[in-house]
Amino acid sequence: MNAVTYPQDNPHLWFTQLRAIIGIELGRVLFTSRATAIYVVAAVPIILLTTVGYIDNPRTGGPITGNIANARYAFAVIYAGFLLGTMVFLGSASLFISLFRGEILDRSLHYYLLSPVRREILAAGKYLAGLIASIGLFGTVTLVCYLLLYLPYGVSQMMSDFSSGPAARELTLYLLTTVFACIGYGAVFLLLGLFFRNPIFPILVLIGWELMHFILPPALKMISVVHYLKGIMPPQPWRGPIAVVMASPPAAVCMLALTGLTAVALILTVLRLKRIELRYTDS
């Protein structure tokens, strides 16, 4: 009895393979010991904002953030500095780099390269798994943190802000920024993970590039992720040196530009994957 149907006779073979790779990679990225660092990074802001919600300001007796407008301003600062700058950046760095470089260090990438799967599908499978994990995790954290702001002000305040106030629009923009940050940083780190033997360099390279971005000439600004993220984020009342910044293009253009940047990075990844040569024995 031949209970086995061979892949060649499977009409939509590539879809089965894609689903399989995504499943495997999600398991590897979210449920192994290396993933604990990402969960810790994601938990910190939630814990912080919950404490903020519960503790009352000793002097005024009211919520620490004074009024909701001030709270939203504080969120903007925390979002740009901590949530986006550290959590999403470092989180997606460790997550996307480990997709390829992690497997090369573990010497298990050859199991994929030896499977009859197109390199395009392999790269797409890995990238999508990374996206699902990062957007799922960091998107939820952004949403939860934003809602936690309303903890001291009660549900009614939240309802009114969402129905009439600026909250709905602001939250959508924040979520979009997080999503596009994952998409943009994800593709770039996936590519850098394939090229650099030592993962610390891609991270330092990008930190340097992103930090310098506001002093870069306009031409070079075009290819830095943070420049477009600024366009999507709610307008920031910047203080300090970063205030002097070239106005980012409107949100729609930024999203398009980021998608384009991602596509370029993915194409380079596939080309590199097609030519990669693994030599474990005497590497």
Which residues make up the interface to another protein (CB under 8 A)? 3-8, 10, 13, 16-17, 20-21, 23-24, 27-28, 31-33, 37, 41, 44-45, 48, 52, 64-65, 74, 77-78, 81-82, 85-86, 90, 94, 103, 105-108, 110-119, 198-200, 203, 275, 277-282
Q: Which is nearer to another protein, 116 or 154 (CB)?
A: 116
What is the number of other CB atoms lying within 10 angstroms of the CB of residue 153? 18
In the complex, the smallest distance separating the C-beta of residue 105 from another protein, rounded to whole angstroms, is: 6
In the complex, the smallest distance separating the C-beta of residue 249 from another protein, rounded to whole angstroms, is: 28
In the complex, the smallest distance separating the C-beta of residue 37 from another protein, rounded to whole angstroms, is: 7
Provide the CA 206 distance to its chain's centre, in angstroms. Answer: 14
In the complex, the smallest distance separating the C-beta of residue 126 from another protein, rounded to whole angstroms, is: 12
In the complex, the smallest distance separating the C-beta of residue 49 from another protein, rounded to whole angstroms, is: 9
Strand partners, 56: 63
Rounded Cα distance between 80 and 213, Å, is: 15
Quick check: 46 and 141 in contact, CB under 8 A?
Answer: yes
Quick check: 261 and 225 in contact, CB under 8 A?
Answer: yes
In the complex, the smallest distance separating the C-beta of residue 231 from another protein, rounded to whole angstroms, is: 23
Q: Which is nearer to another protein, 6 or 164 (CB)?
A: 6
Q: Which residues contact 248 (CB under 8 A, 6 or more apart)?
A: 227, 228, 230, 231, 254
From the number of C-beta atoms within 10 Å of its C-beta (0-12, 13-18, 19+), residue 146 rates as buried
Q: Which is nearer to another protein, 3 or 155 (CB)?
A: 3
Greatest alpha-carbon pair distance for the chain in Å reads 80
3-state helix, strand, coil in the chain (%, to 5): 75, 0, 25
Q: Which is nearer to another protein, 86 or 172 (CB)?
A: 86
Q: Which is nearer to another protein, 85 or 165 (CB)?
A: 85
Q: Which is nearer to another protein, 22 or 255 (CB)?
A: 22
User: 94's torsion region: left (phi>0), alpha (psi -120 to 50) or beta?
Assistant: alpha
